[in-house]
Structure 1
């Protein structure tokens, strides 16, 4: 809790020389073991200023410090000074903050008057929403929730891949074989079949690729037939995508796409030429980035068509002009790391001082037997099928474990979708994730269903004890057992964990935190009765349980996961 850290920092500052360029409050840590105190101050950085061994500094500083206020005891261990907070004060401050502000516990206003733009999900039109799109969607969705909770104005943008040569392929494939497909039934799967067939046939007849490029040129030039087919495919795709986004609870402030920036890309290319940044290379027009140890940034191909890289430049410029963002985040796979380094460098060379506010948020891929998916080969797993399978498995468990549960289908949907989300978000985003149906849909161990079940268990407990719970009559002195203090400490870490997740652009920090919170509560739950014969003790423990429920619910919400009251 910041108030405790602030008091410790003030105490330390009184005994240290003035003028130290150190943020003492920021340096304070939480020890790994409860017996080592509630907070610890490492003296290593002080060695640079005081020119002494850190252990010697800690020893001398400890002799000068006296407990006061909420600080019950001070100890020195090696180069650390450890502080013990009065249990009742610690409990009161943490729980009061949660219980008095349940709907927004953990929220902060550090982002007031600042705007974050988040580009995430961004599937291609005329292609299925497959499991490969899940990572960008849930990571971006979680970051959007996190930044909004911290008070930022957030613009969530779904930047659709709706332009480029691939659409020449889809258009030409539809003209060749479209009479054999029915786009009124599962239209995306039908378009995928056409796309796969095109690549199979193009391997035998390379002239098909030339025809596809010609159709894309027609599309860029505004050919009515090409434009009509493209608009048809785009509308079909967005309509299907919105159904899945609604199911996932993912919202965007706008759907845009590369097509919107096709004309603006020509303006950007002209500007690059005016600035003397463009040069010809083997018939193509490029920005030479060899000075920055990067390959050339291709602006136009030999046939004069622009590439998606230039459309990314146009989109970045447009977003800054519209939003004046503090940061613009691109939640895109790590295989695009070089691309974004190039885009940001070219923006910098164009003189945009805000170029360093553009940040690539890379993530690993789902792997299948060590390989990634291929839309061209039709090797994809539809996300909707994964969600359906998860919900179906949860429904079976409910029928077996709790057949009398009300609203079984609603609960199965919440838990099934939550399982898929959490299986992704608990991983550090940069790591590749082996796709394993059983692991992703498992409801044992460190999973979304485990957290949801803990929430439901607490809800049931609170219902049993609702007559005893009175938030105006809590005696915080009752909460002194080690298991109780471990829960309270963990609850109190929630606001800092949200900040850390935002700073590191890492939703897994919150996912892992929620696992530790549920584990701490379940240890407490198994060690002590909550509803006892002692009303004062019962009331305090019920308040503690309620604080855990609130924190679990708020944390899951940040990850885009719902918390059912019954399971």
Structure 2
């Protein structure tokens, strides 16, 4: 029985015995107790002292085999758990289940569709795309660990007026040979050039609109260019996803829904939801939200129309119980409108916007059109190169330096993103990310490697082990932390927050390193030594699984 299960069980016992509700059992904040129950609210309600409340609670909890003893202190009932069986259960579960420890069946039979990453075609995969990609990838791992069927969708930005701009720019200033030799970078230069030239030639914006309108009507030359831009972009994106260890079940982008939007507009019309306002077609959403724009005055469809088509398609195709959109903070209104429109249509889908903040360079937002943009590929190459330098200094004889440097460099970038609460803006500082101490990816990988080196030098004999050492405070505190892992995964899922896993994994690594500083592992007494080896092996298993969920590669040496 893990820590959260014990809390729930004891809460139920008290509430049933005393015929009450709202008992709160929390982790003890003071002293050596394991759990604590605040008593002030009951003292006030029952008009008796907290000490007298504690006596009633003690009677309710009498003869509980999970409890060693109870103690009243400063308005709290402190609970000291029976350590022997609890330590045995937690460590045995980790040893037996390995990387499956923490797996649960709460999502069995349910399908979650996740929409994340979604870079724009004909633009380099920038550092800014990293947030959606890695937050989404980690949330996918969290849901899968809880038993959900997850459909990962990369809703590529392969449609819209930007392609009118790209085509106009290419036809005016593009060079086919240059684009063929370095497609993405050349196309990106042309995109930036369009916006520079537009300052002196305001007609360019309308030209781009006209070209995109012709593309929507299948103009053969514009379609050929668009398909070429898309094909070249996908090659670069796939290289980046392979590097990051990210995969998708569908790459159906915006263009996939071109032939599915008329049906949505027709359904909205049949349900009496459409209204024409100053030439634009809208759905009114009441007093709290601005109307959803379905068609512009020129008849062109908008994002809401396309996302409605996508949502209906996903519900019909994947039978989704829930749809998560891992998209930036700035799109909050859009997803509120999307949900409101589908509610009016009578669908009442479970749609959730998993929002996140900006990724800043030197405190400033990146922009493609202004040219202030960092290609993720360049940043990853730099991170790997710097990681290799650090590894060479620490361990010059390491054989697989390149492989290790890749895992450390990429892991550092991923962890820097996921350790932060996702709704906050984060600063991209490579020097800080690559440090081997503090809250960093390399610190977690190094903690696991340190355990690996101890295990490699010693042979664990499970038949010559004294579990009584696990009852000592410096062991038991960490065992309780290990026992929280299944609930940590649930908490991360409830908040759609990989940062919950990241912070927990840091706490566990810090706990191990503190333990390692206090407790000699390779002691002479074989029973004590084997208890130590078994204990740190369990810690390593959970650190590694935390890393895997975050999308970071655990290492055996570095």
TM over 0.5: yes
Worse overlay, 484-493 or 311-320: 484-493
Q: Is 1:338 the equivalent of 2:333?
A: yes
- Hey, what's the Cα distance between the residues in 1 that align with 2:139 and 2:328? 15
Q: Is 1:313 the equivalent of 2:308?
A: yes
In structure 2, the partner of 1:477 is: 468
> Which of 170, 178, 188 is the aligned partner of 1:182?
178
1:281 is displaced (CA, Å) by: 1.9
Q: Is 1:462 the equivalent of 2:455?
A: yes
In structure 2, the partner of 1:227 is: 223
- Hey, what's the Cα distance between the residues in 2 that align with 1:51 and 1:253? 60
Q: Could you say if the C-alpha distance between residues 55 and 328 of structure 1 is closer, same or farther in structure 2, counting changes exceeding 3 Å?
A: farther
Q: Could you say if the C-alpha distance between residues 48 and 170 of structure 1 is closer, same or farther in structure 2, counting changes exceeding 3 Å?
A: farther
What are the equivalent positions in structure 2 for 1:420-439 lying under 5 Å apart?
420-439=413-432
- Hey, what's the Cα distance between the residues in 1 that align with 2:422 and 2:47? 40
In structure 2, the partner of 1:97 is: 93
User: 3-state SS of the aligned residue for 2:26?
Assistant: coil
> Which of 491, 511, 524 is the aligned partner of 1:533?
524
1:213 is displaced (CA, Å) by: 0.7
What are the equivalent positions in structure 2 for 1:148-297 lying under 5 Å apart?
148-179=144-175, 182-289=178-285, 291-297=286-292
Is residue 448–residue 540 contact of structure 2 (8 Å, CA) maintained in 1? yes
- Hey, what's the Cα distance between the residues in 1 that align with 2:273 and 2:35? 54
Structure-1-length-normalised TM-score = 0.94
Q: Is 1:544 the equivalent of 2:535?
A: yes
Q: Could you say if the C-alpha distance between residues 548 and 270 of structure 1 is closer, same or farther in structure 2, counting changes exceeding 3 Å?
A: same
1:40 is displaced (CA, Å) by: 2.5
User: 3-state SS of the aligned residue for 2:506?
Assistant: helix
For each residue in 1:496-535, what CA deviation from the matched residue of structure 2 results, as whole angstroms up to 9, or x when unmatched? 1011000111100000001100111111101011111111
1:178 is displaced (CA, Å) by: 2.0
For each residue in 1:69-116, what CA deviation from the matched residue of structure 2 results, as whole angstroms up to 9, or x when unmatched? 131111223443222112222211110110011121111111111111
Worse overlay, 453-462 or 277-286: 277-286
Equivalent pairs counted in the alignment come to 556
Is residue 278–residue 285 contact of structure 1 (8 Å, CA) maintained in 2? yes
Is residue 434–residue 441 contact of structure 2 (8 Å, CA) maintained in 1? no
Is residue 443–residue 450 contact of structure 1 (8 Å, CA) maintained in 2? yes
In structure 2, the partner of 1:555 is: 546
1:370 is displaced (CA, Å) by: 3.6
What are the equivalent positions in structure 2 for 1:341-380 lying under 5 Å apart?
341-354=336-349, 357-380=350-373
1:180 is displaced (CA, Å) by: 6.0
Is residue 164–residue 308 contact of structure 1 (8 Å, CA) maintained in 2? no
In structure 1, the partner of 2:398 is: 405
- Hey, what's the Cα distance between the residues in 1 that align with 2:362 and 2:117? 24
Q: Could you say if the C-alpha distance between residues 326 and 205 of structure 1 is closer, same or farther in structure 2, counting changes exceeding 3 Å?
A: same
Is residue 483–residue 520 contact of structure 1 (8 Å, CA) maintained in 2? no
Q: Could you say if the C-alpha distance between residues 534 and 162 of structure 1 is closer, same or farther in structure 2, counting changes exceeding 3 Å?
A: same
Is residue 419–residue 443 contact of structure 1 (8 Å, CA) maintained in 2? no
- Hey, what's the Cα distance between the residues in 2 that align with 1:201 and 1:445? 47
What are the equivalent positions in structure 2 for 1:76-115 lying under 5 Å apart?
76-115=72-111
In structure 2, the partner of 1:124 is: 120
Q: Could you say if the C-alpha distance between residues 43 and 259 of structure 1 is closer, same or farther in structure 2, counting changes exceeding 3 Å?
A: farther
- Hey, what's the Cα distance between the residues in 2 that align with 1:304 and 1:53? 72
- Hey, what's the Cα distance between the residues in 2 that align with 1:395 and 1:485? 37
- Hey, what's the Cα distance between the residues in 1 that align with 2:50 and 2:165? 66
- Hey, what's the Cα distance between the residues in 2 that align with 1:302 and 1:7? 61
1:55 is displaced (CA, Å) by: 6.6
- Hey, what's the Cα distance between the residues in 1 that align with 2:32 and 2:103? 29
1:239 is displaced (CA, Å) by: 1.3
- Hey, what's the Cα distance between the residues in 1 that align with 2:120 and 2:33? 53
Q: Could you say if the C-alpha distance between residues 540 and 87 of structure 1 is closer, same or farther in structure 2, counting changes exceeding 3 Å?
A: same
- Hey, what's the Cα distance between the residues in 1 that align with 2:197 and 2:488? 52
User: 3-state SS of the aligned residue for 1:75?
Assistant: strand
User: 3-state SS of the aligned residue for 1:419?
Assistant: helix
1:273 is displaced (CA, Å) by: 2.0
Q: Could you say if the C-alpha distance between residues 385 and 48 of structure 1 is closer, same or farther in structure 2, counting changes exceeding 3 Å?
A: farther
Is residue 67–residue 73 contact of structure 1 (8 Å, CA) maintained in 2? no
User: 3-state SS of the aligned residue for 1:121?
Assistant: coil
Structure-2-length-normalised TM-score = 0.95
Is residue 483–residue 523 contact of structure 1 (8 Å, CA) maintained in 2? no
What are the equivalent positions in structure 2 for 1:25-104 lying under 5 Å apart?
27-33=24-30, 35-43=31-39, 57-104=53-100
Q: Is 1:12 the equivalent of 2:5?
A: no
